[in-house]
Amino acid sequence: MTLKRSKRPNFAFLFCLINLSIWLLVSNSSLAMQKHSHEKIRNAAIEFVRSQIPEGVTIKSIKAGKIDSRINFQQCSQALETSSSNKKYIAKNWTVGVRCSGIPSWNIYIPVKAQLTQKMLLSETTITRGELLTTQNIKFVA
């Protein structure tokens, strides 16, 4: 007795192979489509400015500029890096560079505005040369 081979293709096998191919395409494209949140990028810029403010300075507010909603950043595989060329530690306006050096790499510069206050000595009266400073002729102002 001899076995005959069917010339019909195995449709169940082909169907499983097609489904597996489609699943792999969809799962890989969804990983590539993950976007880095604009809010997280803005928060990285804010935290950078906050870390640069010296002690003794009160932070009233720090606000990062908006990022154009049409710009999409792919999810960074590493922690975001922040930097600024601003050499003043008490500044109103900052430009903070936020960079992803992972895969994929990208960078953006974000304007950040900071409202800061610092206690200062203020003269209550005219102080002449050689006069002793006391609580009667000076005060701290925030």
Condensed to tens digits (0 to 9), the pLDDT of residues 83-141 reads 998 877 677 899 999 999 988 899 999 999 999 888 888 888 888 888 888 888 888 87
CB 56 within 8 A of CB 119: yes
- Cross-strand bridge partners of residue 116: 59
Report which residue type is found at 65: G
Q: How far apart are CA 112 and CA 46, in angstroms?
A: 7
Q: Model-level pTM greater than 0.95?
A: no
Q: How far apart are CA 40 and CA 75, in angstroms?
A: 11
Which of 109, 94, 85 is closest to 62 using CA atoms? 94
